Amino acid sequence: MKPFAYVKPADVEAALRAVATEPGAKFLGGGTNLVDLMREGVERPDTVIDVTGLPLDAVDDLPDGGLRIGALVRNSVLAADPRIRARYPMLSQALLAGASPQLRNMATVGGNLLQRTRCAYFYDAAAACNKREPGAGCDALDGFTRGHAVLGVSGSCIAAHPSDMCVALAALDAVVEVRSVRGDRRIPIGEFHLLPGDTPQNETALAPDELITAVELPALPVAARSRYRKVRDRASYAFALVSVAAALEVRDGAVAGVRLALGGVGAKPWRARAAEEALLGGAADEAAFRRAAEAELAAATVRPGNAFKTALATATIAATLRELAREEDAG
Amino acid sequence: MSGGTDPQQADGPGGPRDHARPAADRGSHRNGVLLASGVTSNSGRTVLPELRMKVNGSPESLDVEPWAGLLDTLRDKLGLTGPKKGCEQGACGACTVLVDGVRIVSCLALAVQYDGREITTVEGADHPLREAFVRHDGLQCGYCTPGQICSAIGMLSEYAAGMPSSVAAEGLTDDEIRERMSGNLCRCGAYNGILDAIADVAARDAR
């Protein structure tokens, strides 16, 4: 690992001042992604600012029934929070589907938002990667693409976003609160992660001097009946081939409310708006669920190694919505 | 029980043991950088503050570089070779230790992040699981065993505290144990024995 200076500020203002004066600095949370990438030589910061001493680890109720989650809340703690489990079960389930218990005990919410792709070519210093080294090319395009994205990809990069948590946040219209010495900003989750385009090295809307301080979940009654379903190569502790975060409200046999987001298939956590539009107001039956899924996957750009994902995603979306509809019937 | 070295015998009882290198050997790659909790020496070199941790019940005082991993620090500075370096990327769980009773993978932990914390490795984990792993043949080569045992101790605490899992079964079923232990791989495939050992201890706890 490349040597670096280590700073552990005790308050947010000190952390913001530190990063403002050290352009090459990186914030360190639980370390589960950054330390790994530093050991691989993919990340090479001169200064590491350890933010785990900052008082950003509370989950607070908002007046409208939403929740404000501090950026340093650990993934395991958030998954177990009774308010998350009751009001946003898809988020608790997404967190519990991610990584391993040890990693969830370490990983923070802010760090999860910033985790980088697990594309093997991104990790491999001997491979060409536009994300790691802009302009270098992309060995994934004609490589082993089983884990790669089919939505939102470009000719420069087909890396999939690895987070489970962010898929639920996309479905829930979360808002990311960030702060710098220049002031505060609120970034809707849909604008937080960027599509690769010609600049896959730019992954988020966060400026280098901005610190994530919290994630806000707006009140969303439909989310009380929601779930996260993850399909992967083994039963546990693997990244998603396809995952689905879904919430569904059915009234008189018709879809009265729906939230749908996908993981494992998108260059960023993928809000399935085309599918939502197709579903809203229509019949809540199997044929409609499949048609909506197909509407979303129509935009897919596949390669031989990941072409199976369109069919897998379509089936997983339909199955998840079917289960939710059945729960509604059961009351 | 103490595996490997016993620093207590080497240094004798008393206050924190100092594993720091001689002052002349200290320094940083970046001259003049003032660490948040450090001091800049007369030569303009950064002198790292001492890292203080309680490890298996003993107070330790360590001088480590910021990039030193917790796993390397435990093994190389304290002679605690129970935690193993398997993958060094958080994928195998062989390096699992308990921090204030919570299980983590020490390979992805920087030692400096754990200043003031209490670390327990398998050497200090006085728990019936150690004996249960032997009785139920919860191992073949044994390389993953220290991590399995520390992980299982943390897992049973999490379960007792009401931490949910994606299996969401009623009670600590075999499926629950498998899911909750999925962060620990065993390449010999001793999973059935591992499962039996944990289920045995969990059942005794429940009585």
Chain segment B120-153, per-residue pLDDT in tens: 999 999 999 999 999 999 999 999 999 999 999 9
- Which pLDDT tens digit goes with each residue over A119-132? 999 999 999 999 99
pLDDT, residue B54, reads 98
Place of tokens 């008189």: A252
Interface contact B195, partner A, CB < 8 A: no
Q: Spell out which chain A residues touch chain B, with contact meaning CB-CB distance below 8 angstroms.
A: 1-10, 14, 18, 28, 31-32, 35-36, 38-39, 46-48, 50, 52, 76, 79-80, 85, 92-93, 96-97, 99-103, 105-106, 235-237
Instruction: Tell me what the pLDDT averaged over chain B comes to.
Output: 84
Structure tokens at B153: 């101790």
A236–B166 C-beta distance less than 8 A: yes
Q: What's the pTM?
A: 0.92
Q: Where in chain A is the domain with CATH 3.30.43.10?
A: 5-53
Q: Which CATH number fits domain A234-329: 3.40.50.1460, 3.30.390.50, 3.40.50.150, 3.40.50.300?
A: 3.30.390.50
Question: Do the chains contact at B110 and A31, CB–CB below 8 Å?
Answer: yes
**CATH fold label, B7-124:** Ubiquitin-like (UB roll) (3.10.20)
Given CB atoms, is B192 within the 8 Å cutoff of chain A?
Answer: no
d(Cα B33, Cα A59) in Å, to the nearest integer? 35
Architecture field, domain B128-206? Orthogonal Bundle (1.10)
Contacts of A2 in chain B (CB under 8 A): 67
Q: Where in chain A is the domain with CATH 3.30.390.50?
A: 234-329
pLDDT at A23: 81
Domain ranges of chain B: 7-124, 128-206
Above 70 in pLDDT, residue B91? yes
DSSP string, A165-178: HHHHHHHTT-EEEE
Q: What is the CATH number of domain A5-53?
A: 3.30.43.10
Q: Which residues of chain A have pLDDT under 70?
A: 331
Q: Which of B35, B88, B184 sits opposite A7 (nearest CB)?
A: B35
**pLDDT value of residue B43:** 45
Residue B45 pLDDT greater than 90, yes or no: no
Tens digit of each residue's pLDDT (9 = 90 or more) over B110-127: 999 999 999 999 999 999
A35/B108 CB distance under 8 A: yes
State which residue of chain A sits closest to B106, comparing Cα positions: A102
Sorted by sequence, the CB contacts under 8 Å of residue B108 that are 6+ apart come out as A31, A32, A35, A36, A103, A106, B69, B89, B90
